[in-house]
């Protein structure tokens, strides 16, 4: 898909497309996204924040006025769009997590989403986890199957409303979304990502299976973006997961790092042990917008002290060494031909699976060639939902 804005910066274009995609489930309006993008100076993180914040503030203020005047539907819809715009506003600022703009916009994202949730029958929940809690949302469906879901490297539980929760609830599923370590609601508690994701999903399953309406024989796990690695990892070690969806599939984050550093994973590990590697990575960051963003965000969410530390940490995020082969439940792997970071990763995961497996390859002709099929969410979630219905039939 050719960019319609930000032709020279694929990160700015993808994040714009991401919001265009959220139109499908009420997270944006086309004109609001386009005029905001047109005001932004390309590759300027401050400009990105300022313009998205201005749009978010304007939409949220109108929602507040609608609520005060008793126009609940208008208020609900406005709060939902504002939530997504606040999410976008702080997206590129994570190179300095202490920047007050980061938490300010995030807090507004959550507040607006919870205002929407309160008018939509969605229950905020706190899931017990290792002496603290994981924030999430419980959607009560009309059917017997339940889908637990989480985002990936940079997305929030609130955003999962657009990526899958709304689509599955309207098909009758119970849905439980959550943020785990490294994700927005938990990294702010000081808990970074961990590769052994089964220890994160385990307490979430404990919470879900204690609910009286959850059928333990019909529980699926969906992970979006890097969640397409984390969710299969959990399924490899927890038999309570009866189906898993990798949206999109990721087999080995270390392979992505090795490609950036130049060499195989062991050569990458050795190179990253050298403090001089930070200089090399900063050169790559100055040349490549995707590496620039991933290294700044990744340093924060992995608890690393430098881009080198983040890159080294990612070598431990994989489904190699027989992990993928341990999965026994039906598994769906989604793949996009123009994925900015994970070319070939869904296919590698699919090849290593020995369980009942399905690969859905989306196409550019369908407008679904981007990472997680951003821009074609109705299509993608229809196919995912159809697979779930067949699997749990």
pLDDT in tens, 224-240: 999 999 999 999 999 99
Sign of the alpha-carbon dihedral angle for 281, 227, 167, 188: negative
Question: Does the pLDDT at position 260 exceed 90?
Answer: no
Query: 193-214 pLDDT, tens per residue?
Result: 999 999 999 999 999 999 999 9
The pLDDT assigned to 347 comes to: 97
* Active site residues per annotation: 225
DSSP string for residues in 336-353: -TT-SS-TTHHHHHHHH-
Mean pLDDT of the residues in the chain: 96
| CATH 3.90.230.10, domain 1-120, yes or no | no
Give the number of other Cβ atoms within 10 Å of residue 213's Cβ: 10
State the pLDDT confidence band at 258, using cuts at 50, 70 and 90: confident
Lowest mean pLDDT among 14-28, 56-70, 213-227, 260-274: 260-274
Number of H helices, E strands in the chain: 17, 8
Residue 162: both structure tokens together: 């657009």
Q: In which element (H, E) is residue 81 found? A: helix 72-89
The whole-model pTM stands at: 0.97
- Could you give the C-alpha distances from 359 to 93, 190, 222, 341, 383, in angstroms and in order? 35, 36, 15, 19, 11
Q: What is the mean pLDDT of residues 324-334?
A: 98
CA dihedral 18, 19, 24, 27 (to 10 degrees): 130
Residue 283, C-beta contacts closer than 8 angstroms, at least 6 positions apart? none
The pLDDT assigned to 301 comes to: 98
Question: Does the pLDDT at position 87 exceed 90?
Answer: yes
State the pLDDT confidence band at 266, using cuts at 50, 70 and 90: confident
Question: Does the pLDDT at position 98 exceed 80?
Answer: yes
Q: What is the mean pLDDT of residues 327-339?
A: 96
The whole-angstrom distance between residue 183's C-alpha and the CA centroid of its chain comes to: 9
DSSP string for residues in 265-308: HHHHHHHHTSTTHHHHHHHHHHH-HHHHHHHHHHHHHTT-SSHH
State the pLDDT confidence band at 353, using cuts at 50, 70 and 90: very high
- Nearest in space to 220 (alpha carbons), one of 387, 22, 348, 382: 387
Q: What is the mean pLDDT of residues 139-144?
A: 91
The pLDDT assigned to 277 comes to: 87
The pLDDT assigned to 280 comes to: 86
Question: Does the pLDDT at position 34 exceed 80?
Answer: yes
The pLDDT assigned to 293 comes to: 95
Yes or no: say if 153 and 94 are a contact pair by the CB < 8 Å rule.
no
Give buried/exposed letters for 40-54 (b at 16+ CB in 10 A, else e): beeeebeebbbbbbe
Q: Where does residue 319 rank: exposed (0-12), middle (13-18), buried (19+ CB within 10 A)?
A: buried
The pLDDT assigned to 264 comes to: 81
Question: Does the pLDDT at position 267 exceed 90?
Answer: no
Lowest mean pLDDT among 265-279, 307-321, 332-346: 265-279
Q: DSSP code of 36?
A: H
More reliable by pLDDT, 1 or 392: 392
Query: 11-29 pLDDT, tens per residue?
Result: 999 999 999 999 999 999 9
Q: What CA–CA distance (Å, rounded) separates 391 from 109?
A: 34
- Fold of the CATH domain 123-252+317-393: Rossmann fold (3.40.50)
More reliable by pLDDT, 76 or 261: 76
The pLDDT assigned to 116 comes to: 98
Give the number of other Cβ atoms within 10 Å of residue 286's Cβ: 10
More reliable by pLDDT, 224 or 393: 224
Q: DSSP code of 163?
A: I
Residue ranges per domain, the chain?
1-120, 123-252+317-393, 253-314
State the pLDDT confidence band at 86, using cuts at 50, 70 and 90: very high
Q: What CA–CA distance (Å, rounded) separates 317 from 302?
A: 11
Yes or no: say if 327 and 235 are a contact pair by the CB < 8 Å rule.
yes
Q: What is the mean pLDDT of residues 270-278?
A: 88
- Nearest in space to 178 (alpha carbons), one of 135, 224, 231: 135
Question: Does the pLDDT at position 262 exceed 90?
Answer: no
Is the link from the previous residue into 206 a cis peptide, with omega within 30 of 0? Answer: no
Q: What CA–CA distance (Å, rounded) separates 136 from 157?
A: 6
**What percent of the chain stands above pLDDT 90?**
90
The pLDDT assigned to 265 comes to: 82
């Amino acid at each position: 898909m050719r960019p319609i804005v930000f032709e020279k910066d694929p990160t700015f274009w993808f994040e714009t497309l991401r919001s265009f995609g959220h139109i499908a489930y009420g997270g944006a309006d086309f004109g609001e996204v386009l005029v905001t993008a047109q005001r932004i100076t390309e590759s300027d993180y401050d400009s990105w924040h300022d313009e998205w914040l201005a749009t978010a503030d304007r939409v949220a203020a109108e929602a507040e006025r609608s609520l005060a005047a008793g126009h609940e539907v208008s208020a609900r819809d406005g709060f939902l769009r504002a939530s997504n715009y606040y999410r976008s506003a702080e997206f590129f600022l994570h190179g300095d997590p202490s920047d007050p703009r980061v938490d300010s916009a995030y807090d507004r994202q959550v507040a607006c989403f919870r205002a929407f949730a309160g008018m939509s029958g969605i229950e905020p929940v706190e899931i017990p986890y290792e002496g603290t809690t994981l924030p999430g949302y419980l959607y009560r469906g009309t059917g017997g199957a339940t889908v637990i879901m989480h985002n990936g490297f940079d997305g929030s539980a609130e955003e999962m409303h657009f990526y899958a929760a709304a689509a599955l609830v309207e098909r009758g599923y119970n849905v439980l979304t959550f943020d785990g370590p490294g994700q927005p609601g938990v990294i702010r508690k000081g808990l970074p990502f961990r590769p052994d994701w089964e220890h994160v999903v385990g307490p979430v399953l404990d919470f879900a299976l204690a609910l009286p309406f959850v059928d333990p024989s019909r529980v699926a796990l969906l992970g979006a973006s890097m969640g397409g690695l984390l969710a299969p990892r959990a399924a490899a070690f927890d038999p309570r997961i009866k189906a898993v969806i990798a949206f999109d599939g990721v087999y080995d984050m270390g392979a992505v790092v090795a490609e950036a550093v130049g060499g195989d994973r062991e050569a990458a590990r050795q190179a990253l042990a050298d403090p001089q590697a930070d200089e090399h990575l900063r050169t790559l960051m100055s040349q490549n917008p995707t590496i620039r963003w991933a290294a700044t965000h990744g340093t924060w969410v992995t608890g690393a002290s430098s881009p080198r530390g983040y890159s080294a940490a990612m070598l431990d995020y994989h489904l190699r060494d027989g992990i993928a082969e341990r999965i026994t439940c039906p598994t769906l792997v989604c793949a996009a031909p123009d994925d900015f970071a994970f070319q070939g990763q869904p296919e590698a995961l699919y090849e290593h699976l020995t369980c009942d497996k399905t690969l859905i390859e989306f196409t550019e002709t369908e407008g679904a060639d981007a990472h997680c099929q951003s821009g074609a969410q109705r299509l993608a979630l229809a196919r995912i939902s159809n697979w779930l219905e067949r699997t749990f039939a």
